[in-house]
């Protein structure tokens, strides 16, 4: 969430940033937000004046009673009753206006970093890095959903029977490979200095608002109405909310966390050939990295996260590219996002497998996540997160790119984790 003072003092910068996002009705929303803030501050000023007058009258009444001027004291007492009633009304008006302002602020997305390219959709994203040779497959090569059936390692029909479409069942070597990837990702992350945490898979409403899933992605989250809890769409939500309402010391930076969780997304409206098999699921496994950083270091940290994910894909020997997302394709909360995509030779398309983002102070403002700077003043921290990695499309890429006439050859780095070299 943007700070209202920043919006008020940097209106043109905010509008320029929202224009890069192609955000509709930006000027109307910004003007309405500024107006609500002016009204809130005016009410606060009036309330402060009344409270100050009321305090003064209370002292005057005390002095009058001491000097025996009870008649004058009684007159002032009647006036304090009137002021009390007025302050009560103003306090209620102030709370209502503050709530209105908060709801408006929730609607405004983050301002993109200046290096974010202009654009409207994924077609306008900027390819900033590409590595790895795209393999030439044998003539009978298959997409991963056919390989899954051929080797009986993932059962999409059984998952559909148990739950519904988008909930696959991993079997035999498929389940072992899935577990191997999770353990490998966690080991890589912890070796790089990320502390592993295990977190709840359900979060409350405050956590959803804290990281920006609410109200922006409310329709994409599974919701338990009885307890008002949400199944997590990513470990980013519970891990980052560890630091909600926390004041850090400057020397605690950087804070680096990693977590494995299943993730749940309704993906309403998703259908078609591009979502076959593992390409898009309602439940999937993901290992996440989260960083809490000093504002001066957050972009160096973002570069470090990007390089870390690169190192994993290099060890898996998968062809990949890194995209800097354009303004029109960025997430609501992000200031700068890099997407990683693996090339699926069998599908002849790029598959997104990771997003690494810097949110600057946007989440921290919602979370009330601050630190004491060298002068002893409170500042908002910067938050970052990335997939390291999301399993479904990594697994799809491995199955398709590593297939041979003899079977699917497991990358060397995973063999110690899964205990076999070939799926056949």
**Number of residues in the chain:** 424
| Residue 134 annotated in ligand binding | no
- 111 close to 18: Cβ distance less than 8 angstroms: yes
DSSP state of 118: P
CA 150-156-160 angle, to 5 degrees, is: 150
For the range 100-106, what are the long-range contacts, defined as Cβ-Cβ under 8 Å and sequence gap of 24 or more?
100/36, 101/4, 101/33, 101/36, 101/37, 101/40, 104/29, 104/32, 104/33, 104/36, 105/1, 105/2, 105/4, 105/33, 106/1, 106/209, 106/215
| Residue 69 annotated in ligand binding | no
- 322 close to 339: Cβ distance less than 8 angstroms: yes
| Residue 353 annotated in ligand binding | yes
- Paired strand residues for 337: 357
| Residue 288 annotated in ligand binding | yes
Q: Answer whether the bond into residue 254 is a cis peptide, omega within 30°.
A: yes
Give 19's Cβ-side CA count (13 Å radius).
8
| Residue 92 annotated in ligand binding | no
| Residue 354 annotated in ligand binding | yes
CA 162-352-120 angle, to 5 degrees, is: 120
| Residue 406 annotated in ligand binding | no
| Residue 234 annotated in ligand binding | yes
Listed residue (20, 23, 14) closest to 118, CA to CA: 20
Query: What are the CA-CA distances from residue 386 to residues 136, 159, 389 (Å)?
Result: 30, 28, 8
Binding site per annotation, positions for L-serine: 234, 265, 288, 385
Mark the binding-site residues for ATP, compressed into ranges: 265-267, 352-355
For the annotated binding site, the residues are 234, 265-267, 288, 352-355, 385
């Amino acid at each position: 969430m943007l700070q209202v003072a920043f919006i008020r003092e940097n209106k043109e910068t905010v509008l320029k940033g929202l224009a890069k996002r192609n955000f509709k009705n930006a000027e109307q929303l910004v003007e309405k937000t500024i107006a609500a803030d002016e009204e809130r501050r005016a009410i606060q000023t009036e309330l402060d004046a009344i409270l100050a007058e009321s305090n003064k009258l209370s002292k005057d009444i005390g002095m009058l009673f001491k000097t025996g001027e009870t008649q004058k004291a009684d007159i002032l007492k009647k006036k304090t009753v009137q002021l009390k009633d007025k302050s009560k009304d103003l306090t209620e008006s102030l709370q209502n206006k503050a709530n209105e302002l908060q709801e408006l602020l929730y609607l405004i997305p983050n301002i993109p970093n200046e290096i974010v390219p202009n654009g409207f959709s994924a077609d306008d994203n900027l390819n900033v890095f590409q590595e790895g040779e795209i393999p030439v497959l044998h003539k009978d090569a298959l997409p991963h959903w056919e390989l899954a059936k051929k080797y009986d390692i993932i059962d999409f029909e059984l998952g559909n029977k148990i739950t519904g479409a988008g909930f696959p069942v991993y079997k035999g070597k498929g389940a072992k490979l899935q577990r191997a990837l999770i353990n490998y990702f966690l080991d890589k992350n912890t070796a790089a200095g990320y502390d592993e945490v295990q977190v709840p898979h359900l979060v409350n409403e405050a956590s959803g608002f804290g990281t920006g899933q609410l109200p922006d992605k409310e329709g994409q989250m599974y919701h338990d109405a009885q307890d008002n809890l949400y199944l997590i769409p990513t470990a980013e939500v519970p891990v980052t909310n560890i630091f909600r309402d926390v004041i850090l010391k400057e020397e605690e930076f950087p804070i680096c966390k990693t977590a494995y969780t299943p993730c749940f997304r309704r993906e309403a409206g998703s259908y078609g050939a591009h979502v076959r098999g593992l390409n898009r699921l309602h439940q999937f496994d993901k290992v996440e990295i989260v960083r809490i950083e000093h504002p001066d270091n957050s972009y160096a940290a973002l570069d470090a996260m990007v390089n870390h994910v690169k190192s994993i894909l290099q060890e898996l020997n998968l062809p990949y590219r890194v995209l800097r997302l354009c303004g029109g394709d960025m997430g609501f909360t992000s200031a700068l996002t890099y997407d990683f995509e693996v090339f699926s030779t069998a599908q002849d398309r790029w598959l997104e497998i990771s997003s690494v983002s810097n949110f600057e102070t946007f989440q921290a403002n919602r979370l009330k996540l601050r630190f004491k700077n060298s002068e002893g003043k409170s500042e908002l921290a910067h938050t970052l997160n990335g997939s390291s990695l999301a399993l479904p499309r990594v697994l799809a890429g491995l199955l398709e790119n590593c297939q041979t006439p003899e079977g699917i050859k497991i990358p060397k780095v995973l063999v110690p984790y899964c205990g076999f070299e070939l799926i056949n």
